[in-house]
Amino acid sequence: MAVRPIGAEIELTRPSAVTGRASLSTVVTRFARKKPLGALGGVLMVIMALTAVFADVLDTYDPIATDAAATLAAPGPDHWLGTDHLGRDIYSRIVHGARVSLIVGIASTLLGSVLGGVIGLLSGYTGGKVDLISQRLLDILQGLPLLVLALVMSASLGPSVQNVIIAISIPIIPRASRVIRASVLAIREMQFVEAARALGTAHLRIAFRHVLPNTVGPFIVLMTAQLGSAILVEAALSFLGLGVPEPYPSWGRMLSVSAAEYAQKAPHLVLFPGLAISLAVFGSNLFGDALRDTLDPRLRGA
């Protein structure tokens, strides 16, 4: 009787790496075909990120340099988007403002999501009094709107880049905690977690080694969804004088300086910073919604 070699059987049953793992271009193409609006949002976010990284290359003037001779100049060949009341080039300030908005938005979203995720993980996995007390404290934080709580924190800490990041990240904590906790409550009842408990694995190891990796999908969706809100809140704080201080170019501060006094005389002072904020928030929300529909099994058919 002929015997099939063991190695040949393994080769027959082993899936091909090419067929089993889709390439990045295939995933991106499929995502763009199924979610064209989400792909558009992703393109806007990539453009914003590239603008922030290469701001020193893309600018045409020093964003903080003043020119009294070019005060309130209209858009033209010398100043593509015009100048403000101090003669500063608006295009260069918008380009560098993308860097400020992206740094503040990503840092505050990441900080708030990580802290909230850890709280939600421990709260959902532990349960009992720990879950009850932590969720009631988070209810107090979540009772205030994001902008209102950020205003209170920013007014208490003072205007600076670091304080703005902290002020925006704190209201994100309860929202992140609720999302991760909801996932943990379902994951902790699964068989692989019960098997790990039966083997005597420590609870912290189960929580961070087995439960936490399965919350990556909701965590990514949470990050993209909160990024637009963080950028919008940063602009609102800067508009009110509680955000990023001078001489850093900020989209919200550009609006606060020009919106009331120069809106009718030089509408480009309001139009272009407002358009930059709208595109950034719009792109983040579109991409976050599409990513949620893609990663959430309950919404994949939507």
With CA atoms as reference, report the closest residue to 227 among 51, 94, 54, 103: 103
User: Is residue 13 in some structural domain?
Assistant: no
Closest CA to 92 of 243, 234, 241, 254: 254
What local confidence, expressed as pLDDT, does residue 5 receive? 45
| Residue 4: inside a domain | no
Angle CA(284)–CA(285)–CA(291) in degrees, nearest 5?
A: 90
227: exposed, middle or buried (Cβ count in 10 Å: 0-12, 13-18, 19+)? buried
pLDDT at 2: 47
User: Are the C-beta atoms of residues 88 and 149 closer than 8 Å to each other?
Assistant: no
Residue whose structure tokens are 């990513």? 291
Residue 128's CB: how many other CB atoms inside 10 A? 8
The burial of 155, by beta-carbon neighbours within 10 Å (0-12 exposed, 13-18 middle, 19 or more buried), is given as middle
Domain count, the chain: 1
Q: Is residue 39 part of a domain?
A: no
Looking up residue 180, the CATH number of its domain turns out to be 1.10.3720.10
Q: Does 220 reside within a domain?
A: yes
Tell me if 84 is assigned to some domain: yes
Whole-number Å distance between alpha carbons of 168 and 147: 8
**What is the model's pLDDT at position 47?**
93
Q: What is the pLDDT of residue 262?
A: 77
Can you give the pLDDT at residue 224? Answer: 83
Give the three-state DSSP class for 256. helix
Nearest-angstrom CA–CA distance, 165 and 233? 10
Containing structural domain, residue 90: 54-299
Residue 83, phi then psi, degrees to nearest 5: -130, 165
pLDDT tens digits, one per residue of 70-100: 888 889 888 899 888 888 899 999 999 998 8
E-strand stretches of 28-143: none
The dihedral built from the CA positions of residue 217, 221, 224 and 229, taken in this order, carries a sign that is: negative
In a domain, 219, yes or no: yes
Please tell me the predicted confidence (pLDDT) of residue 267: 85
In a domain, 31, yes or no: no
Report the alpha-carbon distance of residue 125 to residue 251 in Å, rounded: 41
Q: Is residue 49 part of a domain?
A: no
pLDDT of residue 288: 84
- pLDDT score, position 275: 92
Q: How far is CA 63 from CA 151, 172, 274, in A?
A: 27, 31, 17
Q: Which residues of the chain have pLDDT under 70?
A: 1-22, 257-260, 296-302
Question: Phi/psi at 69 (nearest 5 deg)?
Answer: -75, -20
Q: How far apart are CA 259 and CA 269, in angstroms?
A: 7
Q: Give ∠ CA 182-186-187 in degrees, rounded to 5.
A: 110
CB 261 within 8 A of CB 173: no
- Residue spans of alpha helices (H) in the chain: 6-13, 17-20, 24-34, 36-53, 55-58, 90-126, 128-142, 146-157, 161-187, 191-198, 203-205, 216-239, 251-262, 268-295
